[in-house]
Structure 1
Amino acid sequence: MSDLLATIQEKAARYAADTVAQRRHLHAHPELSFEETNTAAFVTRELEKLGLHPQPLAGTGVVALIEGREGGPTVALRADMDALPIQETNEVAYKSTNPGVMHACGHDVHTASLLGAARILTELKNDFTGSVKLMFQPGEERLPGGASLMIKEGVLENPRPASVLGQHVFPRLPAGQIGLRSGQYMASTDELYLTIRGKGGHGAMPESNLDPVLVAAHIIVAAQQIVSRRADPKTPSVLSFGKVIANGATNVIPDSVYLEGTFRTFSEEWRNQAHVLLRQLCEGLAASMGAVCELEIRRGYPYLENDPAVTARTKAAAAQYLGAENVIELDQWMAAEDFAYFSQAAPACFYRLGTASADGRFTSSVHTPTFDIDEAALATGPGLMAWLALQELAVK
C-alpha cells in the first residue's frame, strides 16, 4: 500500500504543471451554468487523450468510466464546471476573457483536479479492482442544479457507485490541507421572491395611499421571528433578504415593492413547515395592512449529509496522504451545494481543499471578483482524489 501511495504522490507532482495549465485554460474561458459547451468539449478532449470514452449527460455534463480489474465496486468522483456572473478584477495572465463571467468559486480547480486524478487512475487501472466513474457536472450555481439532472438521467446507475466523493476549494485553509465534517455539513437552500402590492401616490398624502414600503418593512422584521421563535434552537436556520426594490422617490410612494431572499436549514421537516409559516405570515400581515403579498418559494438543494462511514475512511486515507496534522475538522456551514443531491442518493463525502498560501495571499472568499488560489493546491487535489478513490475501492 505504501508503494501505491508513493506512486500516486510522485505522479501528482510530475503532472502538477499540466494540471495548472488545464486550470488556467479553464479559468480564462469560464461559462455560466448550463452553458458550459466549450468547457465540456475541453474535458471530453482531455479524457479522450487518456483513452477513455466520455459521454455527454444532462446537456453540458460529461461522464466517463475508468475500468480496473473486473469484480470490484464502483466509486464516483464529481467535479462541477460552471462559473459565476462576476467581473474578475485579478490582473493575472489567466484572467477571464469572458466579460462578466468568472470562475469565482473554484470550479476550474475542481475540473482540473478531476482531470488530473483521471490521468493517474487511468495509468493505474491494472493495479485496482473495480471502476471509477468520473462525473463532470454542469450548473451547480443555478437551480435546479446539475446534480439533480444528472441523477435523473441515470449517472448513479450502470454501474451504481458504492460511494461518491466531491471536492471543493476552501480559502480558509492553506494549500496542502483539507477539511471535512461527518454528518450534516451544508444547509438546504430555498429562494424567496415577494411582491407586495399597495397603492402609490404622493409622499405627502399617505392617507390617500396604501404604502407597500411600510408593509415590506413589517414583513422583513416579522419574518425573523419564524427563525427566532418557531424553529427548534438546535436546528440551524437562516432567513435573509438580500434584495429590496421600492422604485419610488423622496416624495413618491410606489405601487409595489419587490423582495428576494433565502431560507436555509438542516431539517427537511422544519423546512417544509417553515415554508407554510412564511406564506401565512407574509400574506396575512400584508392583508392586515390592506395590501397584497405574493410569495413564490423556489425549492432549492437539500441539506448535504456526509455519510459517517465514508467520511471516516476519507479522513483516514487523507491522513495517510497528507499527514494527520493536515486534515482539519470543519464546522457546519450554512452555504448550500447541489452535491447534496448525490449525498441524499448514495453514501457520500464532500470535503474541502485548502487553497490559501502560507504568506497569507489568496484568501479572498469564493464568489468575489478577487478570488484566486495558491496553485500549489493543484499538486494536492488530483493525487489525493485518486488515492481516496482507490481506498474506497479497497473496502471489503
Structure 2
Amino acid sequence: MNELLSPAPEVDARGAAGVLPELPGRMTEPLRREMTAFRRDLHMHPELGNQEFRTTGVLKARLERAGLRPRVLSLGTGLVCDIHPGLTESPGDRRPMLALRADIDALPIPDTKDVPYRSTVPDRAHACGHDVHTAAVLGAGLVLAELARKGELARPVRLLFQPAEEVLPGGAADVVECGALDGVASIVAVHCDPRVDAGRIGLRAGPITSACDRLEVALVGSGGHTARPHLTTDLVTAAAKLATEVPALLSRRVDARAGLGVTWGRIEAGHACNVIPQRAELSGTLRCLDLDTWREAPDLVHAAVDEVAGLYRAKCELNYVRGVPPVVNEPAVTALLREAMTARAGAASVESTEQSLGGEDFSWYLEHVPGAMARLGVRPPGDPRSRDLHQGDFDADESAIATGVELFTAMALLGV
C-alpha cells in the first residue's frame, strides 16, 4: 500500500439520486501528520502578499520531491503545478482541466496565540487560514499524483498556489494575466469558516461573498478661524456630513436587496480646537452583495460624494479603488462539490451557508471560468469559543486539512 493512500472506509454516502460511487484516494495517517506539520511551518513563517518567497520555495521543493514539475509564476511568488493522468502530458489531450486554488499570503497583524507554532515574525500572522488552504491543496496534489501513477486519475488537475489575496484588488487578477487559467475548464477553492464545525463544509450556489472596494476621500477648502465659519469652508462639518449622508444617499439610490453599503474606517481633520482645517480625509470600504450593482457603484459613489461636498463648497478628491467582485458560485460546480463531500463523508457533512459580506479575490477567476468556493469548517466540534478571522487569536482545528484534501481529491475523481 502506498504511504499516501489508504483503503476507503465504508461510508454511507447516499444522496437524493441514490448511492454515490466509492472513490479511491483516501489520506493515510502519515500524510495527515505531514500536512499538519507543513501547515504549522507555514504558520510560524507568515509572509505578506507578493513577499511569499519562502512559502513558494517550500511548496516547490515538496512537489518536486513527489516527482512533479511546479512552475513559479512570473510574479516572483506563487506557483502552478499540473498533474496529468499517468503523470505524462499527452500531446493534443483536450480533457477539461480542474484547478484547485490556495492562497498563500498572511496578514499584517500580530499572532497572539500561545501555541508551539505561533508566528515567529513580529506583526505577521496567518489569521485568515491561508496556511490551512495551502496544506489542503498540497495534500490533495500529493494524493492525486499517486493516483495518476496508478492510472486512477482520469482528468488533468492544476494546483494553483496564489500570492497576495489580502492585497486589493487581489493577486488573482495578476495570476490570470500570467496565464494560470490557460486550459482550465473549472476551478474550486475553500475558505476557512470558524462558524462551521471541522469535518463539515458549507455550500451555497450563487453569490457566497460580497464585493469589496476601497474609498479614499479628500476635502479641500480655505479653512480659517472657528469664530467665523461663514467666511471659511467648514471641512470638519463637511466631512461629518459626508460620513453620514453618503451611505444614506446610496441606500435610496439602489435596490435594498443589492446590499450595497459604505462603512468608514478613518476620518482625519485638523489639529487645533479653534482652527478650521484646510484639508479633511475619509477612508473606508464599499461592500455589495449584487454583481450588477457593484459594476455601477463607482458612478453612484462619485455622484453622492460630489453632492454632499458641494453643499459645503468643499473641493473633493475621490480615489475609488476597485477591489473584488462577489464570488458567485456556479450551480453545477457547487453541485459537484456537494457530491464530492457526500461521497467522502456522507450527506450530513454538508450544510447550507449564507452569503458573507467579506471579499475574496477568487471572484476574479470566476470572471473567466466556472467554479465554486466552499466554506471549510475549522471550529472544534463542541467548542463554544468564537475565534473570528482576521484576529490575532484565530486558529483552526487541524483536522480540517484532511477534510479539504478529501474534498479536493473527490472533486478531481468525479469527472467533468
Corresponding residue for 1:348?
371
Corresponding residue for 2:16?
none
Corresponding residue for 1:37?
53
Identity percentage over the alignment? 38
1:244-275 per-position Cα deviation (integer Å, ceiling 9, x unaligned)? 11242433432211111111224444234332
Corresponding residue for 2:395?
372
Corresponding residue for 2:170?
145
C-alpha displacement at 1:232, in angstroms?
Answer: 1.2
Corresponding residue for 2:77?
60
Aligned with 1:136 (options 161, 164, 178):
161
RMSD, aligned CA: 1.9
1:4-33 per-position Cα deviation (integer Å, ceiling 9, x unaligned)? 956433x25441111110000000000001
Aligned with 2:244 (options 221, 227, 252):
221
C-alpha displacement at 1:106, in angstroms?
Answer: 0.5
Query: Higher helix proportion, which one?
Result: 1
Aligned with 1:179 (options 197, 202, 211):
202
1:56-94 per-position Cα deviation (integer Å, ceiling 9, x unaligned)? 113211011111146533111000000011011111111
CA distance in 1, matches of 2:365, 2:377: 22
Partner secondary structure for residue 265 of structure 2: strand
CA distance in 2, matches of 1:147, 1:283: 32
CA distance in 2, matches of 1:213, 1:12: 63
Code of the aligned partner of 1:56: V
Partner secondary structure for residue 130 of structure 1: coil
CA distance in 1, matches of 2:405, 2:392: 25
Corresponding residue for 2:359?
336
Corresponding residue for 1:74?
97
Partner secondary structure for residue 124 of structure 1: helix
270-279 vs 49-58, which moves further = 270-279
Uncovered stretches (5+) of structure 2, i.e. residues with no partner: 1-6, 10-20
C-alpha displacement at 1:236, in angstroms?
Answer: 2.0
C-alpha displacement at 1:108, in angstroms?
Answer: 0.6
Code of the aligned partner of 2:173: S
Corresponding residue for 1:313?
336
Uncovered stretches (5+) of structure 1, i.e. residues with no partner: none
Corresponding residue for 1:27?
43
Code of the aligned partner of 1:171: P
Corresponding residue for 2:180?
155
- Between Structure 1 and Structure 2, how many residues are aligned? 390
Partner secondary structure for residue 374 of structure 2: strand
Contact 1:5-1:387 at 8 Å conserved across structures? no
C-alpha displacement at 1:105, in angstroms?
Answer: 0.5
Contact 2:81-2:158 at 8 Å conserved across structures? yes
C-alpha displacement at 1:40, in angstroms?
Answer: 0.5
* Residues 1:49 and 2:74 are matched in the alignment: no
Aligned with 1:283 (options 271, 294, 306):
306
C-alpha displacement at 1:387, in angstroms?
Answer: 1.3
Corresponding residue for 2:133?
110
1:12-23 equivalence runs, <5 A: 12-23=28-39
Contact 1:267-1:303 at 8 Å conserved across structures? yes
Normalising by structure 1, report the TM-score: 0.93
CA distance in 1, matches of 2:114, 2:282: 35
Q: Which runs of 4+ in 1 moved over 4 A?
A: 1-7
Q: 1:373 to 1:362 in 2, by over 3 A?
A: farther
Normalising by structure 2, report the TM-score: 0.89
287-296 vs 85-94, which moves further = 287-296
